[in-house]
Structure 1
Amino acid sequence: MKPDDSLFQQVQTRVTECLVLAERHTGRQFDPPLVRFNQRGRIAGSAWLERWELRFNPVLLADNAEAFLAEIVPHEVAHLVAFALHGKVKPHGREWQSIMTNVFGLEPRTRHKLNTEKASPVFTYQCSCRIHKLSLRRHNSVRRGQKRYQCIHCNQPLAPVTSKVKGKSHD
């Protein structure tokens, strides 16, 4: 599911709100960043510091609009603000944590807890001792015959588990 344009606009508005909060707190003005909705995979958002750009995952946004507006957008804006104020620092270091806590009033969590299954499906494989979950990229490499994976515990090759989902095999 792809979000509609109004949701994209809400994210843009929230970015602006976060920058205004940062400006009030720091006394510095920040240019609006370029906001894109082209982040893929399990990552909800990313800040490209030197480009002054924010990227958000449209698939995760569509299913998690509230979490994006409340936490993901401020998290990414905090990266830009930390960069503007302190230069290149640890991504989730004390400067970023301080912005999350003191400017946005949020717990400085480094990872989101969103369900990423739609954005980044996993595929079930098995060996002789357990079940394994492979990413779409690894699964496709196996299907094309480019890679073979084996279990680090029993050293047996991983084989796809086929399951019937609505009359189709899940491979």
Structure 2
Amino acid sequence: MTFLQERIISRVHDSMQLAAVKLEREFAPPQVSFTQRGRIAGSAWLERWELRFNPILLADNEAAFINDIVPHEVAHLIAFACYGKVKPHGPEWQHIMRSVFKRVPHTRHQLDISKVAPTFSYQCDCRSHLLTLRRHNKVQKGTQRYQCCHCKALLRPQHNA
């Protein structure tokens, strides 16, 4: 385990303790792993009482994880413990973000995802387009074609010279 991962685990435990004090009830420490992949910075697995964090995004965004991502995910667990199954970013979760963690409740992070979600350049008759890895792979396999919504031309891979 890296020093940074240890810091995140410590922040999770501190956040759980803060919630316990503010809400005057105990919460078991969650399982914490660094197995989250793709564009997602973190996720809360409610029934498993587990938090997962993306190690690639964490490496480049320590402050965002400490200040925003960890409280965001912990708030999901606290909302589940206090209210049961509710909307993921509903009023209960927002209340916990504001009252317990003193954070503005944002539903999505603004981290640079270029390392975890590569894009591929495509061209039509009027402009360039960026396709996700999933869409690019479908084009390469011949199972899907995409067209520009403006000029209606089929998108074709843009080869770099």
TM-score (norm 1): 0.89
1:143 has 2:140 as partner: yes
Partner of 2:117: 120
Q: CA deviation at 1:56?
A: 0.8
State how far apart, in whole Å, the 2-side matches of 1:92 and 1:144 are. 37
State how far apart, in whole Å, the 1-side matches of 2:9 and 2:87 are. 26
1:14 has 2:11 as partner: yes
1:160 has 2:124 as partner: no
1:88 has 2:85 as partner: yes
**Among 39, 43, 47, which residue is 1:46 paired with?**
43
2:19 is paired with a residue whose SS is: helix
State how far apart, in whole Å, the 2-side matches of 1:54 and 1:67 are. 16
2:131 is paired with a residue whose SS is: strand
RMSD across aligned positions (CA): 1.2
Gaps of 5+ in 1: 165-171
Partner of 2:33: 36
**Among 76, 88, 92, which residue is 2:73 paired with?**
76
State how far apart, in whole Å, the 2-side matches of 1:142 and 1:56 are. 31
1:100 has 2:97 as partner: yes
Q: CA deviation at 1:31?
A: 1.1
The answer to which of 39-48 and 18-27 deviates more is: 39-48
Give the number of equivalent residue pairs: 161
Q: CA deviation at 1:124?
A: 1.3
1:47 is paired with a residue whose SS is: strand
Q: CA deviation at 1:152?
A: 2.3
Cα-to-partner distance string for 1:141-171 (whole Å, 9 max, x where unaligned):
212222221122222111111225xxxxxxx
The residue type equivalent to 1:33 in the other structure is P
The residue type equivalent to 2:77 in the other structure is L
**Displacement over 4 Å in runs of 4+:** none
State how far apart, in whole Å, the 2-side matches of 1:162 and 1:55 are. 37
1:154 is paired with a residue whose SS is: coil
The residue type equivalent to 2:39 in the other structure is R
1:56 has 2:50 as partner: no
The residue type equivalent to 1:98 in the other structure is H
Cα-to-partner distance string for 1:44-89 (whole Å, 9 max, x where unaligned):
1111111111111111001001110111000000000001000111
Gaps of 5+ in 2: none
2:129 is paired with a residue whose SS is: strand
